[in-house]
Amino acid sequence: MKKKLLLAIAMLVVVFLGRVMPHPYNFTPVIAITLLSSYIFKNKYVSLSLPLFALWLSDLFINNVIYAGYYSGFTFFSFGMVWTYGSILLVALLGSSIFKKMSSSKVALASISGSTIFYLISNFGVWIASPIYAKSIAGLVLCYSLALPFYGSSLAGDLMYSALFFGVYHLAISKSYNLNSLKSKI
């Protein structure tokens, strides 16, 4: 239990720092942490709420410190968060259903799917909310096409962070298992 709590706190810190430190657009660990959370934590409440809470904490900082003055007053939630959080929730549900047993191909598939879900839903929200896009199929296509560079950056980050985090987790678990089995033989 103590290890899981420390892991959850580490995941919160990684998401927070990964979003507030300078980085290429959308090159963050959010999708990877969401997928890893849904693999590690069997409690659905924890696996779904951890990435959402981490995202909300970093949004609080970004909206009220980095973009202070852009919003009037302290911002707990913004309109666009509905689309972002909805996509992260769907990615967490995807991770819960795909990771009965981990494999590198499942990690890659989930990461690509997570990037795509985030791209489709969050940019749909941009199209809905932004007055610069016509509320037509052409406006939606324009919105998605202008967001392609962000999708590329998101996909690269999601694949890299997923490989890193799942690899480190797998290595830590196998080392821990090997050490525990060695101790039991002594």
For residue 178, pLDDT beyond 70: no
Mean pLDDT of the chain: 88
Of 35, 11, 21, the residue nearest 115 (C-alpha): 35
Lowest mean pLDDT among 116-120, 135-139, 174-178, 181-185: 181-185
Q: At what angle do helices 104-129 and 137-146 cross, to 10 degrees?
A: 130
For residue 65, the model assigns a pLDDT of 85
pLDDT, position 176: 63
pLDDT in tens, 127-152: 999 999 999 999 999 999 999 999 99
Has domain 2-172 been given CATH number 1.10.1760?
Answer: yes
Does this model's pTM top 0.75? My answer is yes
Q: Tokens at residue 140, please? A: 């939606």
